[in-house]
Structure 1
Amino acid sequence: MSKQRTYSIDDLALRLASVSSTPLRDIRYFLSELTGSSIAELFGHVVLSHRQYQQLESMIGRRLRREPVAYILGYTEFWGLRLHVHPEVLIPRPDTEILVETVLGQLHDADCRCLDLGTGSGAITLALASERPEWLFDAVDQSPGAVECARQNAAHLALGSGRLQFHCADWTMLPAEIRANAYDLVVANPPYIDTASEHISEETKRFEPHRALYAPDLGLRDLFSLIDLARSLLRPRGLLYLEHGYDQAAAVRSCFTQMAYSAVTTVQDYAGHDRVTYAQWQGTIDRL
């Protein structure tokens, strides 16, 4: 029988204090994964087998190298869904739930065709699909690893494979089957961090995919490109929702207006920062 020992959870957490602002939370996530106990049960002390402790040591070692907890565990939570993640996909943030929440609060039609550009792990598409079982979705990412990750998440969540289609493509060269559609809704959380930004955590810089983080022109290039592109993809009165940086809303609204969208609106995140801007396309579809 494997020998067991009792460990102080606070002492284990102290080992991460130099690299994490939430060392106790990190340790409790690791222990929950190893023991099968819920986070709420993990206070005070924990009993681990020798093998479990070795696995914990490996997790702590990776965290000390500043690897994100989600990559160490291999999953994260988004909109109440457990999503598989790895270093080829951006870790979904709680702020992106604002985009999902805003869409769901405004669109209640049973019939809706949605296009997700830069889907990554599939977080936005899968969150919307979990709440709108009648909607149809196309989700696009240029990374084969990201597309496979999103497909795995969709299969695991069993949200209806027939209405979820994942495509490996750059949004500047979309496949014909996507260009042939007229979408009611286009959503995107594109790269929007200025390439010169110094306000990025060390773990994000080291481990998350830079192609999903950074954009030229003060972080605005991909946002502006998507506003232009969506005019050829949306049906008349269709809606485009974009996540962006806290200081980019004015520039995004201006671009929407210049490109003949209407009802341009910005929504704040949970911290009160501008985070999502959406608008309605009033024109006809202009096939490129």
Structure 2
Amino acid sequence: MSTINSAHSIAEQLASAKRQLQVSDSAALDSRLLMCQVLQCESVYLMTWPERELNTAQLLAFEQLVAQRKAGHPIAYLIGYRDFWSLRLQVSPATLIPRPETELLVETALALSLPEQAHVLDLGTGTGAIALALASEMPNWHVTGIDKSVDAVTLAKKNAQLNQLPQVTFKQSDWFAHVAQTRFSLIVSNPPYVEDDSVYLQQGDVRFEPASALTSGPDGLDDIRLICAKASSYLTPQGWLAFEHGHQQALGIQALLAAQGFSQIRSVNDLNGQPRITLGCLAV
């Protein structure tokens, strides 16, 4: 029986990576995700075969991924996907990484009283996360996602196929520029809403994400102002407009909606008790 070189085993490499990644608050999870990426396996395999040795190529690949993670590269970009809602979505540096807090926008939209065959528009769709999550729950809805980035639209279409939701339409458009004059029962958006000079831009994953998908003027509301001003032309009577936004922006967005004739305006708090979603209904 050959002697196992434990320094090259899955268990030892995971322990080494965890020590290196202590800068992350999810060092153990990150290590496992990176190992699964290298071995193309599920996490249960790591627990079942901790003594298995990595070959030279696998060791090098794992070390490179750990070094990138240690330098701050988002785990989602390194492994190529992020789980969102009930979906697994491919990601790329062309789009924002879907975040758990955005699921609140999906929950809020699903709780609305909408027609059975509702037409829904997702503005700034990125990976397609919101559009695909809504379509996965409401198969009779007609969901369209648009994004200014051609690369993002290509990725969203791929995610639709991978999650067996080919009925969702994705197209390139700078906000409403190329949206047909369809009337939607619901428009949802997780638009750029970070202030141009925010210190947040120098922290965590956002350092590696596209700035154009993050920032929107001195107060972060430039794109939301534009959407509020134009949305009424694309909504049915009593149609809804809903945004995800920063925790200090709710009152400003409520005022923008009111100024454009929306009613039933309200904000929804996230799990931290901070207002994260604001929505309004187009008055008849």
Do Structure 1 and Structure 2 share a fold, with TM-score over 0.5? yes
Kindly state the Cα deviation for residue 45 of structure 1 after the two structures are TM-superposed. Answer: 4.7
Q: Work out which of the residue numbers 15, 23, 31 in structure 1 matches 2:35.
A: 31
Kindly state the Cα deviation for residue 136 of structure 1 after the two structures are TM-superposed. Answer: 0.5
- CA 90–184 in structure 1, closer or farther in 2 if over 3 Å, else same: same
Q: Secondary structure at the match of 2:52?
A: strand
Kindly state the Cα deviation for residue 39 of structure 1 after the two structures are TM-superposed. Answer: 6.0
Provide the C-alpha distance between the structure 1 equivalents of 2:48 and 2:221, rounded to a whole number of angstroms: 45
Q: Work out which of the residue numbers 1, 20, 25 in structure 2 matches 1:21.
A: 25
CA distances 1:134-163 after superposition (whole Å, capped 9, x unpaired) = 11011110101000000000011111x2x3
Q: Residue 286 of structure 1 aligns with which residue?
A: none
- CA 124–205 in structure 1, closer or farther in 2 if over 3 Å, else same: closer
2:192–2:215 contact (8 Å) kept in structure 1: yes
1:239 maps to 2:240? yes
Structure 1 runs not aligned, ≥5 long = 284-288
Kindly state the Cα deviation for residue 48 of structure 1 after the two structures are TM-superposed. Answer: 3.6
Q: Residue 124 of structure 1 aligns with which residue?
A: 130
Q: Residue 213 of structure 2 aligns with which residue?
A: 212
1:167 is matched by which residue type in structure 2? K
Provide the C-alpha distance between the structure 1 equivalents of 2:61 and 2:86, rounded to a whole number of angstroms: 27
- CA 205–92 in structure 1, closer or farther in 2 if over 3 Å, else same: closer
Alignment of 1:1-288 (within 5 A): 5-6=8-9, 7-8=11-12, 9-18=14-23, 20-35=24-39, 36-38=41-43, 42=47, 45=50, 47-50=52-55, 51-107=57-113, 109-159=115-165, 161=166, 163-173=167-177, 175=178, 178-283=179-284
The total of aligned residue pairs comes to 276
Kindly state the Cα deviation for residue 169 of structure 1 after the two structures are TM-superposed. Answer: 1.3
Structure 2 runs not aligned, ≥5 long = none
User: After the TM superposition, which of the residue ranges 201-210 and 88-97 deviates more from structure 2?
Assistant: 201-210
User: After the TM superposition, which of the residue ranges 25-34 and 72-81 deviates more from structure 2?
Assistant: 25-34
CA distances 1:17-65 after superposition (whole Å, capped 9, x unpaired) = 23x2221121011123334132696499553421322221121122122
CA distances 1:87-107 after superposition (whole Å, capped 9, x unpaired) = 000001111000001111224
Provide the C-alpha distance between the structure 2 equivalents of 1:73 and 1:150, rounded to a whole number of angstroms: 17
Provide the C-alpha distance between the structure 2 equivalents of 1:48 and 1:234, rounded to a whole number of angstroms: 59
Q: Secondary structure at the match of 1:60?
A: helix
Q: Secondary structure at the match of 1:96?
A: helix
Kindly state the Cα deviation for residue 172 of structure 1 after the two structures are TM-superposed. Answer: 4.8
Q: Secondary structure at the match of 1:190?
A: coil
Q: Secondary structure at the match of 1:264?
A: strand
2:184 is matched by which residue type in structure 1? Y
Kindly state the Cα deviation for residue 203 of structure 1 after the two structures are TM-superposed. Answer: 3.9
1:157 is matched by which residue type in structure 2? N
2:261 is matched by which residue type in structure 1? A
1:10–1:44 contact (8 Å) kept in structure 2: no
1:215 is matched by which residue type in structure 2? S
CA distances 1:64-84 after superposition (whole Å, capped 9, x unpaired) = 221100000010000021000
Provide the C-alpha distance between the structure 1 equivalents of 2:45 and 2:99, rounded to a whole number of angstroms: 22
- CA 46–250 in structure 1, closer or farther in 2 if over 3 Å, else same: farther
Provide the C-alpha distance between the structure 2 equivalents of 1:150 and 1:172, rounded to a whole number of angstroms: 18
- CA 63–39 in structure 1, closer or farther in 2 if over 3 Å, else same: farther
Q: Secondary structure at the match of 2:122?
A: strand
Which of the two has greater strand per residue?
Answer: 1
Kindly state the Cα deviation for residue 108 of structure 1 after the two structures are TM-superposed. Answer: 5.6
1:115–1:139 contact (8 Å) kept in structure 2: yes
- Seq. identity, %: 34
